[in-house]
Amino acid sequence: MPSSLNRYDDRKILTLSKEMQWRRLLGFSSPQSRVSDVKATAFFLSRDGRRDPLREMNATLSAFYSSSPQDLNDHAVCRFPARFLWLSQHFDFQEIPVTPDECPGYTDFSLNGDVESISLIYATGYLGNPASYYGHLLVRLNRHGENVRESLDDTAINFGAIIPDNENMLVYIGKGIFGGYDAGYTHREYFYHTHNYGENELRDLWEYRLALSDSDRTLLVAHLWELLAKEYTYYFFNRNCAYQIAQLFTVVTGENYTNANRPWVLPQQIVQAVNGSAYRGTGLVESIDYIPSRQSRLYARYEELGAKERKRVEQAAHRGSPALEETIVGAEESQKRVLDTLLDYYQFRQVKADVDEVPDIEREHRAVLMRRFELEPGGGALDLQGEDAPHEGRPPSYFSVGLQDGPGAAPRYTVRVRPAYYDSLDAQGRSVAFSTLAMGDITVSFGEEGSQLEKLTIVEVESIQQNKTGLPGDRGHSWRLSVGAEQKSFSCADCLAAKGMAAAGYSSSFGSDRMVLSGFIGGGYFATTDTSEGFFVEPSLQLNWRLSGKVNLQAYWGEQHFYHSDRQRQARLDARVSLTTNTDLRLFFENRDVHFFGLSVGYYW
């Protein structure tokens, strides 16, 4: 070390190198961690820095006193401004040749110190991409005052896996689960993410503005700069965006937002932990804002229309601009509601339309816009209160105990554990209503004849497109995919069979978000042996009905036609009653060879 560093007591350096905030700045996630989560060699100034916080501190102090390079961005202070800010609380750095304020790259990223606040952004789940099934988290750097919706040029920080173009889906899933990808932080304009999530993928966003002090906010921004483009190893379940962003906030708050006893970390868990966290005598979150997707805005407007107004919207959507004069009639306020709905509708159509359809949709949108300009500005305020806010929702993991019974067999007790995430009876939020996303769902039964595995779901995904308006273009296809094993019959003592299936279909919600009827045609494999007899095709019908905010029903009928002309029919009725936010009661009746029924009490954790 240079002679100018001899003033620093080695014992003080040793003590500081053991402090948890220093270790977290280096990417050590816990006191027990022996290796930093950051794998990029460029993140460390010592060759042993990834494993030795003391050597990294010595190397950092030494590098801070090095002479200024031709490009100031290459100086250690400019590369690691958060380390400088933290160490400057403990050491006198008056003789250091560079300060963070002189670093061009860092000052540009930090908006010249004009970051007024920092927000956690939650994007709801998206079943079109496995990496986004559970939702996604971003960090936003705000500088334009309180009106967050008008500040789209702010900076957004994203953490994600680095995936090659055109990666095979099965390879993508396998490598994502087993750590086959590098990952890292990137930054770009917030507008890009609001457009991609809210307009293209039709996902609602929730913004949680944090009440960080000036010093903590500055330290967090500086640490983000240090982490940009530094590689991590990505694991889909527990070293994902949720985990890394939680670790990011832990650097400045000292609070732990993950549960070390769980092998998975989900975005909603982090949102709930952050929202419920204390910070300097108050809550960490100071305000919450809901940013609805294009689809949510359309559906909200459509729900506010009366029967005659909906009819006018349908006529205009089917017949186009030539029909505007005869369909846009009545009181001026009613005309405004119809035209505003059509404006949202045509913008929504552009998201799902084929390229050759876009010019016609844009022409119709312009015609409606010109007709709207003929009326007075303003109109009825649209109620866009978010439903099922992620911070208020139930936890994502589920445990239940129950009893099932049927003719010719003794009753059996059941235990079910579902690590994540939801099924068609408890799915929360507009974007995934009546859908299913479950992984590692296991049910075991116990009775006079011993215990047995009733059902194992490795993965089950069911996407129900409600198509609420019934307008042209609002008719997405539903689909389901499942892989696992289950008992072939309740009357069988032990006939566990491997099962995998996929199906595609169509759903209709009859203009209401409370009931949806779906029809599917699919096929798969279901057998206790590996012979061709297990292959089947299956038509099925499914009705989902939300009777109230606490009671959901699902009725299912399917008929499996097997390879050698055997067939098996299944009819099932499920009911769920929400007792509290974290508990429920479930009942079912099923007829598959024989009829049986069951009930269970569940707890979300």
- Residue 605 tokens read as 């954790």
DSSP for 315-363, please give it.
HHHHH-GGGHHHHS-SSHHHHHHHHHHHHHHHHHHHHHS-GGGHHHHHH
Strand partners, 543: 517, 555
Is it the case that residue 58 has pLDDT exceeding 50?
yes
For domain 398-604, give the fold.
Porin (2.40.160)
- Choose among 301, 272, 311, 300: nearest CA to 137: 272
Q: Residue 289 — φ and ψ, nearest 5°?
A: -130, 140
Return the closest-CA partner of residue 310 out of 295, 323, 327. Answer: 327
Please give the mean pLDDT across all residues of the chain. 89
Domain 112-291 part of CATH 3.90.1720: yes
**What tens digit of pLDDT does each residue of 221-239 get?**
999 999 999 999 999 988 9
Give the 3-state secondary structure of residue 299. helix
Q: What gap in Å lies between CA 298 and CA 432, rounded to an integer?
A: 16
Which residue is listed with tokens 């072939």?
488
Residue 173: per-residue pLDDT: 81
pLDDT at 432: 73
Query: Higher model confidence: residue 392 or residue 183?
Result: 183
Residue 151: pLDDT band with limits 50, 70, 90: low
Question: Token pair for residue 72?
Answer: 């100031």
Give me the amino acid identity at 281. G
pLDDT at position 59 over 50: yes
Q: Which helix (H) or strand (E) holds 414?
A: strand 409-418
Q: Percentage of the chain surpassing pLDDT 90?
A: 63
Quick one: pLDDT band at residue 502, thresholds 50, 70, 90?
very high
Q: Which residue shows structure tokens 């990834």?
A: 50
Best mean pLDDT range from 214-228, 324-338, 368-382 = 214-228
Tell whether the model's pLDDT for residue 537 goes beyond 90. Answer: yes
Provide mean pLDDT across the span 279-283: 94
Which residue has 């009942």 as its token pair? 587
Taking the alpha carbons of 158, 160, 162, 164 in that order, is the dihedral positive or negative?
A: negative
Residue 546 has pLDDT above 50, yes or no: yes
Condensed to tens digits (0 to 9), the pLDDT of residues 418-473 reads 998 889 999 876 667 888 989 899 999 998 888 999 999 999 999 988 778 888 88
| Every domain of the chain and the residues it spans | 3-106, 112-291, 294-373, 398-604
The token duo for 445 is: 């039964």
What mean pLDDT is predicted for residues 61-81? 93
Rounded mean pLDDT of 378-403? Answer: 81
Instruction: Please tell me the distance from the alpha carbon of residue 435 to that of residue 422, in angstroms, as a whole number.
Output: 8
Tally Cβ neighbours within 10 Å of residue 234. 24
* Residue-wise pLDDT tens digits, 107-137: 999 988 889 999 999 998 887 666 677 889 9
Convert the pLDDT of each residue in 345-365 to its tens digit. 999 998 878 889 999 999 999
Which two structure tokens, joined as six digits, stand for 256? 């732990």
- Distance, CA of 522 to chain centre: 28
DSSP string across 6-63: TTS-HHHHHHHHTSHHHHHHTT--STT--S-SB--GGG-SSTTTTT-HHHHHHHHHHH
The separation between CA 375 and the C-alpha centre of its own chain, rounded to angstroms, equals 40
Question: Under 8 Å CB-to-CB from 411, ≥6 apart: which residues?
Answer: 403, 404, 405, 447
pLDDT for position 53: 97
pLDDT tens digits for 418-432? Answer: 998 889 999 876 667
| Predicted confidence (pLDDT) at residue 150 exceeds the cutoff of 60 | no
Asked whether the beta carbons of 200 and 248 are under 8 A apart, the reply is: no
What value does the mean pLDDT take over residues 42-66? 96
The model carries a pTM of 0.89
194 or 54: which leads in pLDDT: 54
What confidence category does residue 320 fall into, taking pLDDT thresholds of 50, 70 and 90? Answer: confident
